[in-house]
């Protein structure tokens, strides 16, 4: 596995690759969720690039940028064992200058849910993903459905900016008890980890209600909120796949999203129905 930190060196190297390039952007502290994106990329692409970059512009003032988990050596090993061809490990100075052109998230879809709790977060996400796409020029790029709003906005960016990369969504990987894998799970104490299971339980209950054809959004949200108690809920929202709020849900076109605070850790999860 080749490791490159310099964007121009990486661009020059990738010019020599004529095979289909698959790209998996990450912020490191890799787990089986990231690995399933890499596996999906390996299946469809002859050359797989993974980036590890903790992007400062998507963290708001006072957020956990400095203590974001970092496990460089373990991450390198995981990528190498997974058959990654090229690992891009830039430093902040390799990606950002001092007076920057940047992308703005759309006014509506960029400022609801995560964007409401973290205004400006998606400007940073879109800016860095745009830069990474320009550096790597992937044919396919893989993103987790776990970060549904991010996936939606990146898909929108690719469409609206007429980019030629194909965005491939990948299912959320969970622990056997339902907890969605996340780099942030390592912050949870044993007790908090138990509490965190309320999030997937609430989503499973919503899924059972939908299977019973109980499709009223208010009833679903109420049942979920009860299960989530006493966690501090950021949001419980039922949307269609275009990220529009609906009153009655339509099977096959629905996303139910939860953000909850477990101790001091904000966890996201969702279900696609
Ligand atoms: P991150 O390193 O948290 O920025 O995540 C990098 C990519 O991995 C994003 O596309 C995430 O949506 C995806 N991802 C994170 N957790 C999971 C998971 N549990 N299952 C599948 N994909 C995930």
Nearest CA to ligand 1 atom 17: 33
Could you report the per-residue pLDDT of 53-90, keeping only the tens digit for each? 999 999 999 887 888 888 899 999 999 999 999 999 99
**Catalytic residue chosen out of the listed positions 4, 24, 34, 210:** 34
- CA–CA separation, 125 and 49 (whole Å): 19
Lowest mean pLDDT among 16-25, 59-68, 92-101, 162-171: 59-68
| Domain boundaries along the sequence of the chain | 2-170, 183-268
Tell me what pLDDT residue 247 has: 81
- CA–CA separation, 237 and 111 (whole Å): 14
Nearest CA to ligand 1 atom 14: 144
Could you report the per-residue pLDDT of 190-213, keeping only the tens digit for each? 999 999 999 999 999 999 999 999
Report DSSP state, residue 57. G
Whole-number average pLDDT of the chain: 96
Report CA(214)–ligand 1 centroid distance (Å): 31
What residue ranges in 17-70 does DSSP mark as E strands? 21-26, 47-52
Q: Bridge partners of 4?
A: 88
Atom of ligand 1 lying closest to residue 174 CA: 19
Report CA(183)–ligand 1 centroid distance (Å): 8
Looking at domain 2-170, does it have CATH number 1.10.275.10?
no
Q: Choose which residue among 31, 35, 37 to substitute to test ligand 1 binding: the one with the highest number of ligand atoms within 8 A of its C-beta.
A: 37
Q: Compare 43 and 61 and report the one with higher pLDDT.
A: 43
121 is a catalytic site residue: no
Q: What is the mean pLDDT of residues 95-105?
A: 94
Place of tokens 């469409």: 159
- DSSP run (H or E) holding 38: helix 32-44
Report CA(261)–ligand 1 centroid distance (Å): 19
Q: Bridge partners of 266?
A: 261
Q: Bridge partners of 257?
A: 237, 270
Could you report the per-residue pLDDT of 206-235, keeping only the tens digit for each? 999 999 999 999 999 999 999 999 999 999
Whole-prediction pTM: 0.97
Report CA(146)–ligand 1 centroid distance (Å): 6
Band (245; pLDDT cuts 50, 70, 90):
confident
- CA–CA separation, 86 and 88 (whole Å): 6
DSSP H helical ranges for 106-189: 114-117, 121-136, 148-160
Tell me what pLDDT residue 54 has: 97
> Taking CB atoms and a 6 Å cutoff, what residues make up the pocket around ligand 1?
26-27, 33-34, 36-37, 143-144, 146-147, 170, 172-173, 180-183
For the chain, helix (H) and strand (E) counts, in that order, are 9, 9
What residue ranges in the chain does DSSP mark as E strands? 2-4, 21-26, 47-52, 86-88, 140-144, 166-170, 232-240, 254-262, 265-272
Q: Choose which residue among 26, 121, 122, 149 to substitute to test ligand 1 binding: the one with the highest number of ligand atoms within 8 A of its C-beta.
A: 26
Fold of 183-268: 3.30.1300
Contact 131, 139 (CB under 8 A): no
| Neighbour tally for 156: CB within 10 Å | 18
Q: What is the mean pLDDT of residues 244-265?
A: 92
Place of tokens 């973290």: 118
Atom of ligand 1 lying closest to residue 183 CA: 3
Report CA(9)–ligand 1 centroid distance (Å): 26
CA dist list (Å): 117 to 128, 139, 181, 259: 20, 33, 21, 10
């Amino acid at each position: 596995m080749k490791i490159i930190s310099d964007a121009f060196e990486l661009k020059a190297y990738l010019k020599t690759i004529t095979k289909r390039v698959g790209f998996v952007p990450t912020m490191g502290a890799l787990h089986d969720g990231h690995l399933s994106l890499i596996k999906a990329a390996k299946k469809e692409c002859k050359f797989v690039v993974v980036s590890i970059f903790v992007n400062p512009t998507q963290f708001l003032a006072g957020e956990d940028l400095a203590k974001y988990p970092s496990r460089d050596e373990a991450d390198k090993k995981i990528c190498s064992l997974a058959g990654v061809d090229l690992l891009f490990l830039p430093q902040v100075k390799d990606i950002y200058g001092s007076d920057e052109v940047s992308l703005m998230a759309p006014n509506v879809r960029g400022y609801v849910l995560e964007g409401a709790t973290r205004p400006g977060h998606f400007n940073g996400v879109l800016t860095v993903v745009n830069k990474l796409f320009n550096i790597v020029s992937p044919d396919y790029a893989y993103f987790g459905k776990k970060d549904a709003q991010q996936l939606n906005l990146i898909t929108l960016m690719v469409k609206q900016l007429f980019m030629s990369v194909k965005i491939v969504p990948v299912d959320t990987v969970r622990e056997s008890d339902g907890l969605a894998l996340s780099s942030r799970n390592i912050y949870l104490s044993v007790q908090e980890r138990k509490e965190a299971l309320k999030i997937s339980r609430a989503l499973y209950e919503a899924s059972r209600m939908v299977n019973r054809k109980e499709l009223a959004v208010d009833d679903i949200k109420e049942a979920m909120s009860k299960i989530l108690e006493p966690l501090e809920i950021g949001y419980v929202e039922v949307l269609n796949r275009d990220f529009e709020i609906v009153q009655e849900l339509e099977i096959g076109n629905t996303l139910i999203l939860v953000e909850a605070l477990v101790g001091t850790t904000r966890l996201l999860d969702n279900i696609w129905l």
